[in-house]
Amino acid sequence: MKSIALFFLAVASAFAQSTTIDVEYGRVGETVLKLDLHLPKAGNARLIVYVHGGAWRAGSKADVPIAGLLDHGFAIASVDYRLSTQARFPAQIHDIKAAIRFLRAKSDLFHLNTDKIAIIGSSAGGHLAALVGVTNGHKALEGQIGEHLDQSSDIACIVSLYGASNLQSILGQSTEFGLKMRVPALQLLLGDVPDQVPDLAKLASPVAHLDAKDPPLLLIHGDADPQMPPQQSQELAKAYEAKKRPVTLILLPGSKHGGAEFYDETRLKTMAAFLTKHLR
């Protein structure tokens, strides 16, 4: 997966006007929080915040499999956040929201259009992206990180690629292989399995936060995913529909957890059309 992501980044970077790595957006004690900013040729670009995957405990902002969206004129801020080996939930959400506030505060410096910001995430990053997107203004999840608390962390639209949506139901939907992955990952993220920390598991579940103001959502998931149950995306789509919010669910036949087909020309065009529509 990493080699695929780096390939797409290398190809897209050829078209990028500039890439700035390790931009500090906040600090927590001795921990420096950073992002990489990839800009297309055109200035005043619409902004995507990208959240990497890695079971909440691994991964890096250097992996940007959606980098092909630079060719569609979008800027991409790939954000590192405290992993579950460093801090438990909701630290990850606090960090990402701080990055969004930072980017809005520095929009003139980086020549960004941040009136409306999109968020995209893959795998665990898809879960975090969805949770950030459906909790605009949520006091418990906003956090107090960074120097720009006067700025909004609101998100205008969400793309979740094979991400979780309900940590209270995920283990019951998981395959035996999936349980081997998810149980230790959730124990690190939440401090225990969801049944033992139900309030925290609910707080960490996008489906538990939906209301009539949630931003448009695009979900892409493989229907043969052995790691992240496709029922997670189906559950979130159904909950969105119940709230009469705009949602599109794309299930890729035979696809598993990630892979080049999630970032090919067809999927990039689908994402670009969705982003263009909702970032106008």
**What's the CA gap between 134 and 157, in Å, rounded?**
9
- How big is the CA angle at 259 (ends 257 and 263), to the nearest 5 degrees? 120
- Which has the closest alpha carbon to 32: 61, 3, 6, 65? 61
**What's the CA gap between 81 and 236, in Å, rounded?**
24
Looking at residue 11, what DSSP letter applies? H
**What's the CA gap between 178 and 180, in Å, rounded?**
5
Q: Are the beta carbons of 85 and 159 closer than 8 angstroms? A: no
Domain spans of the chain, in order of start: 2-278
Tokens linked to 76:
């991409």
Per-residue pLDDT of the chain (280 residues; tens, 9 = 90+): 444 444 444 444 444 469 999 999 999 999 999 999 999 988 889 999 999 999 999 999 999 999 999 999 999 999 999 999 999 999 999 999 999 999 999 999 999 999 999 999 999 999 999 999 999 999 999 999 999 999 999 999 999 999 999 999 999 999 888 898 899 999 999 999 999 999 999 999 999 999 999 999 999 999 999 999 999 999 999 999 999 999 999 999 999 999 999 999 999 999 999 999 999 8
Which homologous superfamily is 2-278 in?
Answer: Alpha/Beta hydrolase fold, catalytic domain (3.40.50.1820)
